[in-house]
Amino acid sequence: MRLTPVVPAHVATTRHLCAAYPLVTEAGLGHEGVLVGRDLLGGAFVHDPFALYRRGVVTNPNMVVFGQIGRGKSSFVKSYLWRQAVFGRRAWVVDPKGEYGPLAEAWGVAPVTLRPGGSVRLNPLEAGPDPAGDEDPVGGPARRRSALTASLAVACLGRELRPRERAAVDVALGAAAVRAALRGAVDPILPEVVEALLDPDPAGAAALRTTVTGLAEDGRDPALELRRLVAGDLRGMFDGPTTPGLELDGPLVVLDLSAVYHSPALGVLMACAAAWLQAAVGTGTGTGAGAGGHLLLVVDEAWAILSKLNIQLNYCS
């Protein structure tokens, strides 16, 4: 009687699997772009989102950098941006810890420093890009402002908006836009939205088939939370028109939020900064992006925004 030996199945981790299949490897991403480091499978690792997009390798070139503390995430991003400058690329950075000051100095620019009660203000309700046209109720600036304001209210309240609250916010934004037009401005500001929530317009109340008192009650909780950005402890950063004369034409723009890094509202403040930045980038304000320039948009410590899962923003680069 012959016995057939039974060979046990081989078990290996992904670290050692390459020894079992040594010839299985990818071709790499090509040689165009920035040198990142050495590929463990051989050769250099080079990466350029614009080249990959042009070649059709990717359709939406976003990047996430994550890892353990102290493993060089920030160093990698800074060196990556510095090397991209060789190819004429610009960068805008939301910097909540104040780490990009030396990089800005090397680039010959000064960070845009935001702090409560400071001299610099950014308006997160600026219209931004409107490829669909002003008359489009789905893709226009009004929809963007509505989504942003509702998201900020949700993040401040720590819960979803009720239907009545969301409707009150939409009506308040319309009234705020009218108030902005009366002062000769294109974009409303958060104080006008808060004022419209606390003191609703009769026409808005009539449109919702309610009374002015009822509409004021519906929007009171969102108004009181958004008021923190206007008259509370977070005032002086996003409660007015964007400060004129900001230097936005350089190769690097850094929004320094380090003064509020330890604030529980950091995610909300970063969302405001990113919303303004998105509008500025989309319209090409001082970036060259509107004329087809290549721009890298970095949100450092993005966990602060991602932890507020209700904040929904689209970042363009």
Q: Give one DSSP letter per residue of 44-113, joined into a string.
A: EEEE-HHHHHHTTS-SS-------STTSSHHHHHHHHHHHHGGGT-EEEEEESSSTTHHHHHHHT---EE
Q: Collapsing DSSP states into helix, strand and coil, what is residue 16?
A: helix
- Give the predicted TM-score (pTM) of the model: 0.72
Domain boundaries, the chain: 27-61, 90-306
Cα–Cα distance measured from residue 188 to residue 127, given in angstroms and rounded to the nearest whole number: 9
Measured CA to CA, the distance from residue 117 to residue 94 in angstroms comes to 19
Q: What is the pLDDT along the chain (317 residues), one digit of tens a residue?
A: 666 777 677 777 777 766 666 555 666 677 788 888 887 766 788 888 888 888 888 888 888 888 888 888 889 999 999 999 888 888 989 898 889 999 999 988 889 888 888 888 888 888 765 544 444 444 477 888 888 888 888 878 878 899 999 999 999 999 999 999 988 988 899 999 999 999 999 999 999 999 999 999 999 999 998 998 888 788 888 888 888 888 777 889 998 888 888 887 787 787 788 778 777 766 555 544 443 468 888 888 877 766 654 444 443 33
Tokens standing for 91?
């960068």
Burial of 291 per CB tally in 10 Å (0-12, 13-18, 19+) = exposed
pLDDT score of 25: 61
| Structure tokens that stand for 89 in this block | 């690329």
- Closest to 41 (Cα-Cα) out of 14, 66, 68: 14
